[in-house]
Amino acid sequence: MTAIDHLILGQVLDIHANPFDVEPDGCARHIRRGAILVRDGAIHEIGEAEDLRAAHPDARVTDHGEGVILPGFVDSHAHYPQTAIIASWGKRLIDWLNSYTFPEEMRFRDADYANEIANRYLNLLLTHGTTSVASFCTIHPASVTAIFAAAEQRGMAVTAGRTCMDRNAPDGLRDDAQSAYDESKALLETWHGRGRATYAITPRFSPTSTPEQLEALGALWAEHPDCPMQTHLSEQTDEVEWVAELYPSKKDYLDTYEAHGLLKPGGMFGHAIWLTDSERDRLRDHGAALIHCPTSNTFIGSGLFDTARAVAEGQTVGLATDTGGGSSFSMLHTMASAYEIGQLTGTALHPAQLLWLATTGSARAMRQADRIGTLALGSAADLVVLDLASTPAIAQRQARAETIWEAVFPTIMMGDDRAVVAVHVGGRLFDTHKGEWAFPDASHSRPLNPLISDSLGL
Ligand code: GUN
Ligand code: ZN
């Protein structure tokens, strides 16, 4: 026993195998009164609460009572600079970018503003149960510094990169091929691998980059192949047509990236809705990831991503908010939206599949599944604790549940930040309702919703 051992008690739900390959009951372990032993910020042991308490009598204890402990949510595509313009009305992609996004991103030339939004954004993530994100920044290096510094303060594993654009963007938001390369490289060298930071090479998308810029960023990626690369692909049909006009010599949208060294493992392609069969084959064969952004795809009217098809054909799929094109900071809302889009594309995704996509699936897409998005021993103790009876409407439905999946599904479909009782970041407890870090010894047992307490006779 070392002084820093920490026992976190609650219901433990460990989805240890891929529920797209294995039946729900074979892919998960549910410990009704379970415990996670955290040592040095990592998951050291999982078991029955009684057993671990007996084996580690000196560990400090945080008891979440009936709370369900899962890996913290992993959001594999977001734009933190769009925090303040989320839910902007009435536009489709290109008009939405020009009307709302670019003017807001312009404000990030002011480092104070970048810091304010980065801190606000990460607090919002934590209160929504998200402990890791892959975020675009803006063209301004200060926007990258702001998010990594805010993440470092909180101990969060954040992936981020300077968003590069050298055409089809307003004055003040354009760079060129060389400055995109130079500034990305300098930020990468400062941040990548510092603490829990991961630098992502980030061309916004082909319409806002010249071939020269994509080539330069492809070269940078070749020099740093362990970095991820994040961008957008085939989100809306008129965007796909625009790319064909801008790149007449390329055989399709994906080719604009592929021809410049931007298609390989570690590539994360947001949206990826309107793909040809050839693009689908090449994405899979090159080991890239498709990032499903369901609330964004409905909010901006982009189209329906067929998750079941993508998984069945062997794609790596992550799940993401795409804040602020996406209409939420919540991975619960994002799972609900993925479920509804699944219904519209012919597959009812199981709660185990939704939770897996929001944790391990996204972590795999980011090539970080060895350390986040999982309860595997040795991974970071980044955890979310859910109250499955957070509102009367949810409570009365889950009171009828006969399995853990039935119990958790109403929270997936109807839950929001009220369902997120706490997160642990590297084992450190953040009280999401108070919006503050708890003192090390805080006990954190929340009373059950009265409806549920009554139904359990408590
Ligand atoms: N395509 C290029 N930039 C963006 C963006 O900021 N949001 C979304 N949803 N799509 C994009
Ligand atoms: Zn995006």
Residues 315-354: pLDDT tens digits? 999 999 999 999 999 999 999 999 999 999 999 999 999 9
Residue 434 CA: distances (Å) to CA of 123, 228, 427, 429, 449: 11, 34, 18, 12, 18
Query: Order of strands, edge to edge, in the sheet holding 198-199?
Result: 73-79, 130-136, 157-161, 198-199
Ligand 1 pocket, mutate which of 94, 101, 296, 305 (most atoms under 8 A from CB) = 101
pLDDT above 70: residue 453: no
CB 104 within 8 A of CB 117: no
Name the least confident of 173-187, 288-302, 320-334, 440-454. Answer: 440-454
- pLDDT above 90 covers a percentage of the chain that reads 93
Average pLDDT over residues 290-297: 98
Q: Counting ligands in written order, which one lies closest to the CA of residue 133?
A: 2
The minimum-distance atom of ligand 1 relative to the CA of 325 is: 9
- The CB density around residue 97, as the number of other CB atoms within 10 Å, is 22
Residues sharing a CB contact under 8 Å with residue 438, sequence separation 6 or more, in sequence order: 62, 422, 429, 430, 431, 444
pLDDT above 60: residue 458: no
Q: What is the pLDDT of residue 452?
A: 36
Name the least confident of 393-402, 419-428, 431-440. Answer: 431-440
Average pLDDT over residues 249-259: 98
pLDDT above 70: residue 395: yes
Measure 79 CA to ligand 1 centroid, in angstroms. 8
pLDDT above 80: residue 210: yes
Beta strand 383-386 with 60-71: parallel, antiparallel or unpaired? antiparallel
The protein residue whose alpha carbon is closest to atom 1 in ligand 1 is: 232
Ligand 1 pocket, mutate which of 135, 206, 232 (most atoms under 8 A from CB) = 232
Measure 320 CA to ligand 2 centroid, in angstroms. 9
Measure 322 CA to ligand 2 centroid, in angstroms. 5
Question: What's 6-71+375-453's CATH class?
Answer: mainly beta
CB 287 within 8 A of CB 264: yes
Compute φ and ψ for 446, nearest 5 degrees: -90, 140
Q: Which residues of 289-321 are buried (b: 16+ CB within 10 A; e: fewer)?
A: bbbbbbbbbbbbebbebbbbebbeeebbbbbbb
Q: What is the pLDDT of residue 454?
A: 41
- DSSP class of 199: E
pLDDT above 80: residue 446: no
The protein residue whose alpha carbon is closest to atom 9 in ligand 1 is: 325
Measure 256 CA to ligand 2 centroid, in angstroms. 18
Q: What is the pLDDT of residue 25?
A: 85
Average pLDDT over residues 355-379: 98
Q: What is the pLDDT of residue 3?
A: 56
Instruction: State in Å, rounded, how far the first CA of the chain is from the last one.
Output: 35
CATH 3.20.20.140 fits 73-365, yes or no: yes
pLDDT above 80: residue 225: yes
As a whole number of angstroms, the distance between CA 191 and CA 260 comes to 24
As a whole number of angstroms, the distance between CA 125 and CA 130 comes to 5
Using 50, 70 and 90 to split pLDDT, how confident is the model at 378? very high
Using 50, 70 and 90 to split pLDDT, how confident is the model at 438? confident
Ligand 1 interacting residues, C-beta cut-off 6 A: 79, 93, 97, 101, 204-205, 232, 235, 296, 322, 325
As a whole number of angstroms, the distance between CA 411 and CA 389 comes to 8
Beta strand 60-71 with 42-48: parallel, antiparallel or unpaired? unpaired
CB 45 within 8 A of CB 94: no
Using 50, 70 and 90 to split pLDDT, how confident is the model at 439? low
Measure 291 CA to ligand 1 centroid, in angstroms. 13
As a whole number of angstroms, the distance between CA 146 and CA 159 comes to 13
pLDDT above 80: residue 151: yes
Average pLDDT over residues 287-295: 99
- The CB density around residue 3, as the number of other CB atoms within 10 Å, is 7
Least Cα distance to 17 among 315, 375, 337 occurs for 375
- pLDDT above 70 covers a percentage of the chain that reads 95
Burial (CB count within 10 angstroms: exposed 0-12, middle 13-18, buried 19+), residue 176:
middle
Measure 65 CA to ligand 2 centroid, in angstroms. 37
- DSSP class of 78: E
Handedness of CA 282, 287, 292, 296 (dihedral sign): negative
As a whole number of angstroms, the distance between CA 30 and CA 221 comes to 41
- Average of per-residue pLDDT values in the chain: 95
pLDDT above 50: residue 441: no
pLDDT above 50: residue 448: no
Domain extent listing, the chain: 6-71+375-453, 73-365
Average pLDDT over residues 274-278: 98
As a whole number of angstroms, the distance between CA 335 and CA 293 comes to 10
Q: What is the pLDDT of residue 433?
A: 86
Least Cα distance to 253 among 318, 194, 209, 190 occurs for 209
Angle between helices 177-191 and 211-223 (to 10 degrees): 30
Average pLDDT over residues 84-88: 98
As a whole number of angstroms, the distance between CA 437 and CA 447 comes to 19
User: 12-42: per-residue pLDDT in tens?
Assistant: 999 999 999 999 889 999 999 999 999 999 9
**pTM as predicted:** 0.96
Average pLDDT over residues 121-147: 98
Least Cα distance to 421 among 451, 442, 397, 396 occurs for 442
Q: What is the pLDDT of residue 411?
A: 98
Using 50, 70 and 90 to split pLDDT, how confident is the model at 440? low
Ligand 1 pocket, mutate which of 79, 135, 274 (most atoms under 8 A from CB) = 79
